[in-house]
Structure 1
Amino acid sequence: MSMLGAFLMLWGLSLGPATEAMQALDPPILWIEAESLPEPWANVTLTCQARVETTDFELFKDGVTQGRVHLGLPTMEHRFPLGAVTSDTRGLYRCRTGFTVGCCSQLSSLLEVTGAETLPPPWLSAQPVPWITPGLDTKLLCRGGFRGVTFLLRLEGDDQFLEVAEAPADVEAAFPVRRPGNYSCSYRTHAAGSPSEPSATVTVREPGAPMPPTLSLGGRSAIIINPASPMTFTCVAPISGVQFQLRQGEELAQVPMNSPTPTTAYFVLNSVALSDRGFYTCRYRLRDQQTWSGDSEPVELVVSDETLPAPELLLEPATLRPAPGESVQLRCLAPRPGLRFVLMRVDHRQRRVLRVLSPPDTEARFELRDVSVADSANYTCIYVDPAPPFAGSAPSAPVHLRVDGPPPRPRLRPLWSEPVTPGTDAVLRCESQVPDVRFELLRVGENEASTYTWATHRSADLVLTYVGPQHAGNYTCRYQMWSPYSMVSDFSEPVELQVAGAVFLGSVGSVSRLLPAGLCPDRFLCQACPVPAPPPGS
């Protein structure tokens, strides 16, 4: 085996088909080739460049397929000639590639073709993060639509600051950043040409320390465990190639660590002891640097040996079947003050920490507001002594709470005010009273979700990417949960998505009819249209 192959295997990579398949799913690059940069819109070709060689390329305009080609031999690029830009060819373009690895690629970034005298703005982003830290090469990446232009970087409030970078064979330029501030960039197609519209502003900060990572215990901020059980802390940094550190309170935690990816570290306690209880944080630093990042938000590890007497858990009001929408209190009573109380939900013998309190007296009150069928479960509580030897109680007798009725109906809100411009994204927010569910967005009359997402909070933004006229219509949302039992909510009230230039005529079967006709609904971007649609009026 070659040294390269051994190195890749060490990192869990390979040079085989699986790696190429993953690369094939990455978004391609789309840019404008102008025959004459002084006259950029006189004769235009759009070039779609794949991540790996492929025989299939597809071009979209304003969310609708414009052309799809299948070549005889694999290649990295394909050119789609537009010619002189007219009202028919102005719009927002994207492309995708490769339909032979089980799915097509993701869509490329948006490319705006205007034909206007004023050039469209570029995109500006900070790489790898928008702050300046010693040892980290922060750059601003300015990306335009044309190949072979000159990029200009400006700093707000400093008229003397101007960085210039030429990109004769590329569509982007990288500017090193050494000062904090608000930056924007533009480009010009030739020396005598006017600059494009400026990009959106990017703020680069100079914090006292790198931005903090995130820390979790099995995806949660608090967890309870018995002594001698294993426990894993997960620390995720916003940048790669860093050194991690886990801290228990103000002290360094001597816990074995492994880091399978450049941004993630796992700290594994193989056998938890009572002394391991408490609050933990993690931080990181760049290699060969002394400055540590800010600390993550703390997580709490609660350890109970169950040697102390069990507390008593009472329900107030004293009914085990509250009506939907009511609020109830679960009162956990212990034999003495100065203790830390934990309320847990028990589902299929799995205990999940809901809340942790340290009241001044012998009683902790945990409130459940606006209860619904999703709150039906067994509840129990424990207490632990925060002073050595850190003993903990046995769990209380469970309280079996039952709430009748269907799950609360969600609410769907559009995050726009006017008809959506073709080629942009449409975002709808689905709100519920229930956390830890899967939210789904569906077109009215269809059974398959247009998009979905998991959320630990009580709402989620559902995005219809790169909408075209075929997306116009009425949408609704619902949520599902599988633990502790399967549950599906009713649909929300519908919201109408209006796409500028499209007329919604209702539904025929499961596909909405529209004017003008698109080539294919293609709601899922990894479903290729089998045949082109007939022209309007046929």
Structure 2
Amino acid sequence: MEFVLHKAGHPNPQVRTVPHGTVAEFPIPSVSREDGGSYTCDYRSITEPSRWSYPSDPVEIIVAEPSYPKPSISLSPSWGVSLGGDVTVQCWGQHQSVWFVLNKEGRNFSPVDSDGLEAEFPISNVHRDLGGSYSCSYHSRSQPFNVSYPSDPVELVVRDPSLPRPAISLSPTGPFVSSEPSDPVQLVVAEREFLKPTIWVSPSRVVALGGNVTIRCEGQDPGMEFVLRKVGHPNMQVQTVPDGPLAEFPIPSVSREDGGSYTCDYRSITEPSRWSYLSDPVEIIVAEPSYPKPNITLQSRSWGVSLGGAVTIWCRGQRQGVRFVLNKERRRFPPVDSVGLEAEFPISNVSREDGGSYSCSYHSRSEPFAVSYPSDPVELVVRDPGLPRPSISLSPTGVTAPGADVTIRCEGQRRDVRFLLHKAGDLNPQRHMDPAGAGAEFRIPSVSRQHGGSYSCSYRPRSEPFISSEASDPVQLVVAEREFLKPTIWVSPSRVVALGGNITIRCEGQDPGMEFVLRKVGHPNMQMQTVPHGPEAEFPIPSVSREDGGSYTCDYRSITEPSRWSYPSDAVEIIVAEPSYPKPNITLKSRSWGVSLGGAVAIWCRGQRQGVRFVLNKERRRFPPVDSVGLDAEFPISNVSWEHSGSYSCFYHSKSEPFAVSYPSDPVELVEPGVAI
């Protein structure tokens, strides 16, 4: 016969004369894009050239550089089919809406549109010639030159019932012809009893070609043999871990074939019939990122959420209609389809295991290999209310002048922790420190106004870096120049007060329109009071407790120019005690009705105990305590002025036990000549 090869759209056919056989070959060396297209052939008799055959079915040649990963191929039923029976060749890829092509030597199959990711090629009434090796590929419907690599081959073996059955195996008479199967052997299926393991991919389930990933599988107990399985692949990986509950399966230099869905399970080394349940699947996507990385945020303060609370992780990309993937060590999250540009991953009833570093990426729903770069990581820190809160203090206290050195000290109750310093308004911790003891000092040399603000601190156990204590109470760092005169501070009616009594701390400046601040030594929280129309602020303390005792100072700043501060007042001491000593006597060392302006006077206090400390009280004045000489103490006042006139009282307390105090004395009045008091 003389064979003629026709290419659709080309006028010149190729001709081959085959005098002694029935097959003609038309080689195409060094294929170019022009060689792609649809071909048919027919033939005619060499001796009777007017006698022609019907034309063959067409065959399509696609010339392209494969850009899609290879599909998977399988047979149903998978282990063979008898002569005259039916079989289906199934192909599934990783792109939707494509055209699948089935290849076999000596056969031409019509292309099939995919149904989702799959296509089926049914073959009925199987005969011997259908046995052989099959592969498939796919290409885009709209862009035929976007093609996949061919699948691995699968063999269709046709069983011939006329061949005698063996005891258990038979060497077949032809490469694609088989006997009927042997008598069966028993497959023992064990009960699954261990809890399913956790599976995750590190650093991310989306990996670029040539990158490195590790699949980790974690069970509950040591002494296990772990098995990693990939969907569609018969060969599993096995790793024995005698001393721990975690197996690692590294994949160096990732190729497209490494993409897919993985699960793992494990069994006891000593009792290999005892298996765990299968893990949830985890998907590895192998692609060269082509989309920009998304943003990731926590819908709570970034440094933490309390145990049992709720938090939402938000991912925002730059494309709509995509699928977001959230990544975290030891966790698997179902992918979430975007709403607009965003996707939300809510986490309720937060546990310690939820703490850690998260990132996200996204990929096209229709083309899973069109992926983004991963986002920057964000940390979820879980606060444990069971950890004691740290304390915080400033040195020096009060208002700090620019250029001074400041130390912020955080003190906890346990060692082996990391302290973190937080500044209000800054989402991330300012600094961290790993001290040897239970406290840490954060030094700020040469402070400027930018350092001013509210600071707090927290700590994290080094063994649990994403578990945190609650934050300390805040402490205020005020950086400003001092220019106003210091105010006067005093306590009314007395600096010694019984438990449950009422007192008022008064702070008096020079001008109206000020904001007053009352500070207690050793306590970070200050009290503030705005006084727009007068020079004096009152800080009442009702129902006094022992915690109210201590040393207080005050200062103030301008309401209209809050960077202008006063110098701090002298300190005033409040003593909270139930009086147990009798009241002292108080006298003036001059006539009780007065003393001349510019003169001198002494106030004498006499108690009933030796070796005590006397305190003199007067509205708007503070006097240093005086240790007794014998039973007496003297408070001299020289160069008497109008401000010295008024009512005085005194009391005393033990030097070694400040809460062992006397009742206050009766009052005595210092009167200037000619002035009624």
- Bigger Rg, structure 1 or 2: 2
Structure with more contact order per residue of length (Cα contacts < 8 Å, sep ≥ 6) = 1
TM above 0.5: no
TM-score norm. by structure 1 comes to 0.31
